[in-house]
């Protein structure tokens, strides 16, 4: 039955019972849906985000896989969440057809008749949700018997002419219509409840408790159930706050004073909170913490307890304050809430902690205080973290949909850039203009059904006395970089003339400060600079001109932002040697140094010093020089590299690298090799920045120079010096569920020309069984060599290009000879005559038996000139402890028979080990980029 036109609020009445032993919630939901559009609706859509945990093929499971998280894929059914729908009927108790699209967490309900504009219909849902374990996303049931319920019941999807249907992919951005909701909630007797909704008195009965949860013009009800009564209520003059955020080292009374201070700040900068209670929980903070130095273990955190507590509380309070009252589309226009929220965080620090350093108390410690990082103000972190993304060419426009942001941008960079943008506007227009904008926008649009970024723009334009199209059309809507430079400074007694150059062509306002004796004596804003502009200002005692001195503008490169007025020689930056990596200091040419230790069998432990110019922010030109001393050879060894990187577009051809590297080490006792390698490479990226697929083309020429100990004369079966021209194309899709890569490698030298193809594939099946496949084929097009030094190898390539990280590259017996690097043939058993000077084709396969225990097998053919092709094979057990980083291989059967029965079996066991810190770091950072 369809009710007559009522134009009003959806109404939602729920009776829910949480069963502790089964972690299930039985729900009866009476929903009154009002068609608030101007079109008739025959199908209504509801969000059922709890069902996102139900299997391995949901959007949530796929998102986890993109981030190298196998948790949901490997989970047992009892650990998953799931929704079981019993009935969906209208108020005539007529059953309604409904369906899911595949494994979707969105339900389509087909009405028996069209719901006309302004009319309403009553729907009755009966269903049971099984809550997931909280280990996946923090939502569900916890190990200690608690619960965090969020996005747990059916909510109406938003219809604004089109249905906004968004899957749960762990982004906390449910987009649902506003409803008046009443929940009758029953839960186990031993739990304590906190909620963002208004809660009536909790009544206890044998075996359980019951309460009424009320939310008017709200989106969704969050419920936190804990084993201990950890939440406290703070009733301030401005708002009532329920929180469990605390600090053991910060007194309770002081915490209350800080909370009151933050409540007053929110009231003064946003206005009245429209709901009876603001929930500020550790759960919410854990979902969106203060990143960076604040994530250090508590015993080494550098901040005073009061500051640390207030920043933690402030970030969570602002986020919930805005989310619970400004109903923008959080997937498409989250940048507006970010802009307001992070702007207020910047403002709070400016007002209450103007001298706070990013490194906190560490900035006063000897050995640390000389770092530029230690001298940075706390609010400079917003520029630093947003530039981390921009310098790597992975930054994305603020208008990018939340589900299309790479994880680093979604979690950190885009939010910081949004807040910086408001701070930028505040500096340009004046703080009062932006503060009035925020107050006006919040007052007029809080709790409105559908608010858009266009409403926010109109509000800013209302208060702005200058043109601000650049902010929305360039800063917000694009990923264009901002970069200016001062050129050609001339001075007279009463004026200064200089040229401002826009290096990127991004036409936005730029600030110029005049400094005299390190104090600001003048400050100007300049606009409409497309390329260059000559500017004259009055002279007021300046000895330096500095662009963006107050760091309000997220400028791409600040190393050329200043010019001295004291002559050419004084403008040269001083050289600064500094221990360990630091942030960029625009006033110095920084050279970093750090002690290093390397190891190989012939040089032994090789300590040395690494000199480099790489800061926390990536820069186009980088050098890395690492001289080390070989204690075994009593001589210097090491390596050096120089690289210039040029980023192009975000997709397609996105990067070019031009490099020159050199290295020298020993490959046998008193036998040295040196390499010189000029190279150029190009990288391609698909249109979807979330994709892990990359393509690379490498062109290089490697010159190898060798000298051998006179006692080993005759052991070199090739010329000691040679050069190889190498071209390699690689296509890799790095995914934890379906990894695939292939490459074509061509090599040419005076003695040979060869071509090789390699393909690798890993798949994690629904049954949690993993299959690893690899195929390698190589063919000499020309081979004039007399030895196997350049031949294809089954199990241990000679590595004449010196690419592979052998610990003992010349060993044919002993522990070091048992190191295996999966290259060329990829065999693990040491077979007789393992080289091929004509062609080779092999296949390597493995599959898991139990957890990280796998069975492997290799087979293939290899052919030498003048001989028939030989068939080779081996098999065994692989302990895949950390793929590609630490693995053990135990041969069982091969062409040599039952290897496990041989007397020297211990010498046949092979291992993979990675000891390079730089390589290991990639294991942990891949999910962010």
**Tens digits of residue pLDDT in 255-278:** 999 999 999 999 999 999 999 899
Give the pLDDT band (50/70/90) at residue 5. low
Task: Calculate the alpha carbon distances from 86 to 83, 303, 673 in Å.
Answer: 10, 53, 74
Strand partners, 401: none
pLDDT at 293: 60
577-596 burial, b for 16+ CB within 10 Å, e for fewer? ebeeebbbbbbbebebeeee
Task: Point out which residues pair with 172 in neighbouring strands.
Answer: none
Report the alpha-carbon distance of residue 688 to residue 814 in Å, rounded: 48
User: Are 35 and 116 within 8 A, CB to CB?
Assistant: yes
pLDDT average, residue stretch 230-250:
93
Angle at 532 between CA 528 and CA 536, to 5 degrees: 85
CATH number of this structure's domain 1-230: 2.60.40.1730
Question: What is the sign, positive or negative, of the torsion defined by CA atoms of 33, 36, 41, 44?
Answer: negative
β-strands 10-19, 179-188: how paired?
Answer: parallel
For range 340-354, the mean pLDDT: 97
C-alpha separations of 392 from 70, 128, 385, 408, 644 in Å: 27, 46, 11, 11, 13
- Tell me how crowded residue 298 is: count the other CB atoms within 10 A of its CB: 9
Quick one: pLDDT at residue 576?
86
| pLDDT tier for residue 295 given thresholds of 50, 70 and 90 | low
Q: Residue 646 pLDDT > 80, yes or no?
A: yes
**pLDDT surpassing 70 at residue 929:** no
Q: What is the pLDDT of residue 157?
A: 96
pLDDT of residue 39: 95
- Tens of pLDDT, residue by residue over 53-67, are 999 999 999 999 888
Three-state secondary structure call for residue 67:
coil
C-alpha–C-alpha distance, residues 509 and 99, integer Å: 53
Contacts with 737 (C-beta within 8 Å, 6 or more apart), sequence order = 65, 70, 73, 763, 764
Query: What is the torsion angle, in degrees rounded to the nearest 10, for the CA atoms of residue 35, residue 39, residue 42 and residue 43?
Result: -70
Closest by Cα among 348, 374, 349, 360 to 302: 360
Point out the least confidently predicted range of 165-169, 299-303, 895-899.
299-303
N residues, the chain: 929
Q: Output the average pLDDT for the chain.
A: 92
Higher pLDDT, 106 or 364: 106
Residue 209 to residue 53: CA distance in whole angstroms: 28
> Nearest Cα to 668, choosing from 703, 713, 629, 700?
713
Query: 684: closest CA among 671, 695, 672, 675?
Result: 695
* Beta strand pairing call for 278-280 and 240-243: parallel
DSSP-assigned letters across all residues of 99-150: EESTT-SEEEEEEEEEE-TT-EEEEEEEEEEEPPBTTTTS-EE-TTS-EEE-
- The confidence score (pLDDT) of residue 769 equals 87
Per-residue pLDDT at 572? 57
Model confidence at 568, in pLDDT bands (50, 70, 90)? low
CA distances from 264 to 258, 278, 325, 491 (A): 10, 13, 17, 49
**Residue 874 confidence (pLDDT):** 97
Looking at residue 296, its pLDDT comes to 66
Whole-angstrom CA distances from 492 to 44, 240, 331 are: 73, 61, 55
Burial of 128 (0-12, 13-18, 19+ CB in 10 A): middle
**Is 423 exposed, middle or buried (CB count within 10 Å of its CB: 0-12, 13-18, 19+)?**
buried
Residue 632 has pLDDT above 80, yes or no: yes
Q: Could you tell me the pLDDT band of residue 80, with boundaries at 50, 70 and 90? A: very high
Indicate the pairing of strand 886-894 with strand 870-882. antiparallel
Backbone angles phi, psi at 457, to 5 degrees: -65, -45
Q: At the fourth CATH level, which superfamily is domain 484-562?
A: Immunoglobulins (2.60.40.10)
Query: Are 310 and 258 contacting, i.e. CB atoms less than 8 angstroms apart?
Result: yes
- Give the integer Cα–Cα distance in Å for 648 and 149: 45
367: pLDDT strictly greater than 90: no
Residue 308 — φ and ψ, nearest 5°? -60, -45
Task: Pick the closest to residue 749 from 724, 727, 782 (CA basis).
Answer: 724
Closest CA to 393 of 929, 16, 791: 929
What confidence score (pLDDT) does residue 588 get?
82
Contact criterion met (CB below 8 Å) for 489 and 498: yes
Cross-strand pairs, 382: none
What is the distance between the alpha carbons of residues 470 and 782, in angstroms, rounded to a whole number? Answer: 61
Per-residue model confidence (pLDDT) at position 902: 87
Strand segments, DSSP code E, in 493-543 are 495-502, 510-516, 519-526, 532-538
Taking the C-alpha atoms of residue 440 and residue 437, their distance in angstroms, rounded to an integer, is 5
CATH class of the domain at 639-928: mainly beta
Q: Quickly state the pLDDT bin for 487 (edges 50, 70, 90).
A: confident
Q: What is the DSSP code (8-state) at residue 711?
A: G
Q: Is 464 exposed, middle or buried (0-12, 13-18, 19+ CB in 10 A)?
A: middle
Residue 811 pLDDT grade (very low, low, confident, very high; cuts 50, 70, 90): confident
Average of per-residue pLDDT across 588-592: 89
- pLDDT for 44: 97
pLDDT at 923: 52
Note the pLDDT of residue 926: 57
Angle separating helix axes 252-270 and 334-352, nearest 10 degrees: 120
The CA distance from 885 to 921, in Å, is 11
Q: Which sequence spans correspond to the domains of the chain?
A: 1-230, 360-476, 484-562, 639-928
Q: Output the CA torsion 883→884→887→890 (10° steps).
A: 100
pLDDT higher than threshold 80 for residue 2: no
No. of helices (H) and no. of strands (E), the chain: 15, 49
Domains 484-562 and 639-928 fall in the same CATH topology: no
The reported pLDDT for the residue numbered 532 is 93
CA atoms within 13 A on the CB side of 673: 21
Q: Report the percentage of the chain scoring pLDDT > 70.
A: 95
Strand extents, DSSP E, 191-265: 192-195, 198-199, 203-205, 208-218, 223-226, 232-235, 240-243
Burial label, 218 (beta-carbon count in 10 A; 0-12, 13-18, 19+): buried
**Is the pLDDT score of 781 beyond 60?**
yes
Least Cα distance to 70 among 738, 732, 556, 600 occurs for 738
The span from the CA of 294 to the CA of 606, in Å, is 36
Query: Bigger pLDDT: 813 or 8?
Result: 813
Average pLDDT for residues 354-380, to the nearest whole number?
A: 88
**How sure is the predictor about 566, in pLDDT bands with cuts at 50, 70 and 90?**
confident
CA-to-CA distance for 272 and 439, rounded, in angstroms? 10
781 burial type by CB count under 10 A (0-12 exposed, 13-18 middle, 19+ buried): exposed
Measuring CA to CA, which residue among 827, 822, 830 is closest to residue 896?
A: 830
């Amino acid at each position: 039955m369809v009710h007559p036109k009522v134009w009003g609020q959806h109404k939602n009445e729920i009776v829910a019972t949480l069963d502790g032993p089964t972690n299930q919630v039985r729900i009866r939901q009476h929903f009154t849906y009002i068609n608030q559009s101007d079109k008739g609706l025959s199908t209504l859509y509801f969000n059922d985000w709890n069902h996102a945990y139900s299997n391995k093929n949901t959007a949530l499971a796929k998102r986890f896989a993109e981030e190298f998280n196998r948790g949901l894929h490997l989970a047992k059914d009892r650990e998953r969440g799931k929704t079981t729908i019993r009935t969906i009927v209208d108020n005539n108790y007529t059953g309604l057809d409904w369906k899911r699209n595949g494994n979707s967490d969105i339900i389509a309900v087909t009405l028996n008749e069209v719901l006309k504009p302004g009319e309403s219909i009553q729907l009755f849902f009966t269903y049971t949700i099984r809550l997931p374990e909280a280990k996946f996303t923090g939502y569900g049931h916890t190990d200690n018997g608690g619960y965090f319920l969020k996005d747990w019941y059916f909510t109406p999807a938003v219809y604004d002419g089109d249905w906004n249907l968004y899957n749960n992919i762990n982004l906390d951005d449910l987009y649902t219509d506003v409803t008046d909701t009443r929940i009758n909630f029953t839960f186990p007797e031993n739990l304590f409840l906190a909620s963002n909704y208004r809660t009536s008195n909790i009544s206890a009965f044998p075996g359980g408790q019951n309460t009424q949860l009320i939310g008017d013009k709200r989106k969704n009800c969050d419920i936190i159930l804990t084993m201990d009564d950890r939440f406290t209520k703070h009733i301030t003059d401005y708002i009532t706050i329920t929180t469990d955020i605390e600090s053991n080292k910060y007194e309770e009374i002081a915490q209350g004073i800080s909370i009151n201070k933050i409540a007053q700040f929110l009231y003064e900068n946003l206005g009245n909170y429209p709901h009876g209670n603001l929930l500020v929980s550790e759960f919410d903070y854990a979902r969106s913490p203060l990143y960076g130095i604040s994530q250090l273990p508590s015993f080494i955190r550098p901040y005073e307890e009061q500051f640390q507590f207030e920043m933690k509380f402030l970030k969570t309070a602002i986020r919930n304050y805005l989310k619970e009252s400004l109903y923008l589309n959080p997937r498409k226009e989250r940048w507006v809430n970010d802009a307001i929220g992070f702007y207020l965080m910047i403002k709070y620090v400016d007002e209450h902690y103007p001298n706070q350093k990013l490194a906190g108390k560490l900035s006063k410690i000897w050995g640390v205080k000389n770092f530029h990082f230690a001298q940075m103000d706390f609010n400079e972190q917003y520029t630093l973290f947003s530039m981390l993304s921009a310098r790597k060419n992975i930054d994305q426009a603020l208008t990018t949909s939340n589900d299309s942001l790479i994880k680093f941008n979604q979690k950190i960079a885009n939010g910081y850039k949004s807040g910086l943008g408001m701070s930028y506007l505040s500096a340009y227009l004046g703080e009062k203009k932006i503060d009035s904008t925020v107050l006006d926008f919040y007052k007029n649009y809080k709790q409105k059904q559908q608010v858009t970024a266009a409403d926010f723009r109109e509000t800013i334009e209302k208060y702005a006395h200058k043109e601000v199209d650049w902010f929305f059309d360039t800063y917000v809507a694009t990923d264009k970089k901002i970069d200016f430079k001062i050129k050609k400074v001339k001075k007279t007694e009463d004026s200064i003339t200089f040229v401002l150059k826009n290096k990127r062509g991004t036409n936005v306002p730029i600030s110029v400060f005049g400094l005299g004796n390190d104090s600001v004596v003048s400050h100007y804003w300049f606009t409409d600079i497309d390329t260059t502009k000559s500017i004259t200002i009055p002279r007021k005692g300046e000895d330096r001109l500095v662009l963006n001195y107050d760091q309000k503008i997220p400028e791409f490169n600040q190393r050329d932002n200043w010019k001295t007025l004291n002559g050419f020689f004084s403008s040269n930056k001083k050289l600064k040697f500094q221990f360990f990596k630091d942030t960029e200091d625009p006033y110095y040419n920084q050279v970093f140094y750090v002690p290093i230790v390397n190891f190989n069998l012939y040089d032994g432990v090789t300590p040395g010093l690494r000199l480099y110019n790489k800061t926390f922010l990536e820069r186009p030109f980088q050098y890395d020089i690492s001289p080390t001393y070989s204690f075994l050879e009593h001589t210097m060894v090491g390596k050096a590299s120089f690289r210039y990187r040029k980023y192009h577009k975000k997709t397609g051809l996105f990067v070019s690298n031009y490099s020159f590297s050199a290295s020298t080490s020993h490959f046998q006792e008193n036998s040295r090799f040196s390499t010189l390698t000029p190279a150029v490479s190009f990288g391609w990226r698909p249109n979807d920045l979330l994709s892990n697929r990359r393509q690379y083309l490498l062109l290089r020429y490697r010159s190898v120079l060798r000298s051998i100990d006179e006692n080993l004369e005759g052991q070199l079966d090739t010329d000691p010096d040679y050069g190889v021209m190498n071209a390699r194309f690689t296509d890799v899709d790095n995914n934890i569920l379906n990894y695939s890569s292939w490459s074509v490698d061509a090599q040419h030298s005076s003695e040979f020309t060869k071509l090789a193809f390699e393909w690798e594939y890993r798949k994690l099946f629904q049954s949690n069984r993993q299959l690893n496949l690899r195929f390698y084929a190589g063919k000499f097009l020309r081979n004039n060599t007399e030895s196997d030094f350049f031949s294809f190898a089954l199990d241990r390539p000679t590595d004449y290009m010196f690419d592979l990280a052998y610990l003992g590259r010349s060993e044919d017996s002993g522990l070091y000879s048992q190191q295996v690097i999966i290259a060329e043939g990829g065999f693990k058993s040491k077979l007789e005559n393992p080289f091929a000077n004509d062609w080779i084709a092999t296949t390597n396969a493995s599959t898991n038996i139990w957890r990280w225990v796998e069975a492997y097998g290799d087979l293939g053919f290899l052919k030498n000139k003048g001989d028939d092709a030989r068939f080779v094979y081996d098999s065994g057990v692989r302990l895949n402890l950390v793929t590609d980083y630490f693995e053990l291989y135990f041969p069982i059967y091969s062409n040599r028979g039952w290897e496990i029965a041989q007397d020297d079996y211990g010498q046949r066991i092979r291992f993979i080990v990675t000891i390079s810190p730089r390589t290991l770091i990639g294991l942990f950072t891949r999910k962010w980029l």
